[in-house]
A and B are shown apart, each in its own frame.
Chain A
Amino acid sequence: MENMLVGLAKNIVKGLSPKAEALLIFSLVACAIVLIWLKVNPWLACGFPSAAYLLYICRAERNDRHEVSMKELEITQLQLQNEVKLEQIKAKKLAQKKTGANVPVRNDPQASTKKSPVK
């Protein structure tokens, strides 16, 4: 009898092992049944596994939200890194093209004091 139950549990665990959440739900349901079987207060027996499951889901949701914020930060960082460079390159190129014109370079305080290359 015990061997059969252990074998059954092993098979179920083996089948559910790729899905962590399903495995967790199975083990928590088994835990609740055992607690009820042991005549523990039924509110406690059901409340403990429920609380554990809800904590797991909350944590997973917070993890997803954190990943989104990290990605947003990554994008902002990439934009900040490249914007300044592009503005400087553009200003240089435009200054080369418009010969004689004094084009101010963004983020370059010396640009306004530069003399135009050709008059």
Chain B
Amino acid sequence: VNGTFTLLQQFGAMMTYDTQILLPVAVAISICVVVAAYLKARSRRHRERLIELTVAHQALEAHYSAMKTLCSDGALSAPLLTMLVGMSHGLSSHRVAQYIVSEFTKGSLEHKRRTSSGDVDRELENLRKTRIDLYGEFEKAMKSGLIALLLRWPDTASAFKAFMAQSASDERVEVEATTKISRYVSKMDHKMSHSHSDMHDNGMVAA
């Protein structure tokens, strides 16, 4: 105890006689705290993003596995198959994710403003009655696709929680969203093929 006391006394004496030492200590601590806080915040954001991407990856795997089951089975009707493949095709597009989030925030997926045709509903009901196993796979593909689409991009990931909360209270939101995605993707494809054919006509592709 005496030894420790002496040591502390010596250190205190040094600090008393040489107060200039406090300046570098204070500067070093301040710089470390500020820079560390900034970098730690960035690290935390990266870790959160990594969790989102891990979930998106798992959802994508589930989506593709369900899609393989659905596509290899011949019982799925053409409108449902086209809708799902259209959605699957749009999963890699950032514009599609932004579009569906904007539709969601505008309230276009709500019950009153739905535009999807009754054909899809009838086909789904039919599928649920005849092939409950395929209906389960269809739901899995739809849900996992939407999760992957929203969590894939940082700006749309913020809407994920609100979207999931609404879809938990209203099952039709997912079908509506899938229909909209499928239509949007087919529109995009149509535009792209048109612009490509225009370029071809103008001789730009050949050039």
Residues of A within 8 A of B (CB): 1, 4-5, 32, 36-37, 42-43, 45-47, 49-50, 53-54, 57-58, 60-61, 64-65, 67-68, 71-72, 74-76, 78-80, 82-83, 85-87, 89-90, 93-94, 96-98
Give residues in B with beta carbon < 8 Å to A.
3-4, 7, 11, 14, 20-21, 23-25, 27-28, 31-32, 35-36, 39-40, 42-43, 46-47, 49-50, 53-54, 56-57, 60-61, 64, 67-68, 71-72, 74, 76, 78, 81-82, 85, 88-89, 91-92, 152
**Contact B47 A64, beta carbon cutoff 8 Å:** yes
| Residues of the B chain whose Cβ atoms lie less than 8 Å from the Cβ of A85 | 68
Contact A71 B53 (CB under 8 A): yes
Nearest neighbor of B88 in chain A, beta-carbon distance = A86
Task: Decide: B57 and A78 in contact? CB cutoff 8 A.
Answer: yes
Chain B's nearest CB lies how many Å from the CB of A5?
8
Cβ A60 vs Cβ B43 within 8 A: yes
28 contacts between A and B (CB under 8 A): A4-B4, A5-B4, A36-B21, A37-B14, A42-B20, A42-B23, A43-B24, A47-B24, A53-B32, A57-B35, A57-B36, A61-B43, A64-B50, A71-B53, A75-B53, A75-B56, A75-B60, A78-B57, A85-B68, A86-B68, A86-B85, A87-B85, A90-B71, A90-B81, A93-B81, A94-B82, A96-B74, A97-B78
Q: A1-B4, A75-B53, A87-B89 are in contact. Are A67 and B36 (CB under 8 A)?
A: no
Main secondary structure of the interface of B (DSSP, over half): helix
A61 with B74: CB separation less than 8 A: no
Closest 9 CB pairs of A and B: A1-B3, A64-B46, A46-B28, A89-B71, A71-B53, A46-B24, A50-B28, A90-B85, A82-B64
A-B pair number, CB within 8 angstroms:
114
